[in-house]
Amino acid sequence: MSPDEKLIYMANQIAAFFAAQGRDKAIAGVADHLKRYWEPHMRERLLQLAPAHGAELNVFVREALPLLAPTAKP
């Protein structure tokens, strides 16, 4: 598994964990987890991968990505 595939895999695992909480809480939970526990370079790489690999990302990851952008407001 490449490092990029691993990031996608891990992000999807996080989304699967939060999925039982419902859409809004899952999106917020994914964003919060990625902000708290992922290194900035990992978040940045996920943001770079999203346009080309969006179909591979869980819907909650895709919807959380705008909350990770450097200009996003909490």
List, in sequence order, every beta strand (DSSP E) within the chain: none
Report yes or no on 14 lying in a domain: yes
Q: How many CB atoms lie within 10 A of CB 15?
A: 22
Closest CA to 17 of 7, 2, 27: 27
Size of the chain, expressed as the number of residues it contains: 74
Report yes or no on 11 lying in a domain: yes
Report yes or no on 73 lying in a domain: no
Q: How far is CA 32 from the centre of its chain?
A: 9
- d(Cα 48, Cα 29) in Å, to the nearest integer? 21
Residue 74 binned pLDDT confidence (cut-offs 50, 70, 90): low
pTM over 0.85, yes/no: yes
Domain count, the chain: 1
Structural domain containing residue 31: 3-68
**pLDDT tens track for 7-51:** 999 999 999 999 999 999 999 999 999 999 999 999 999 999 999
Report yes or no on 15 lying in a domain: yes
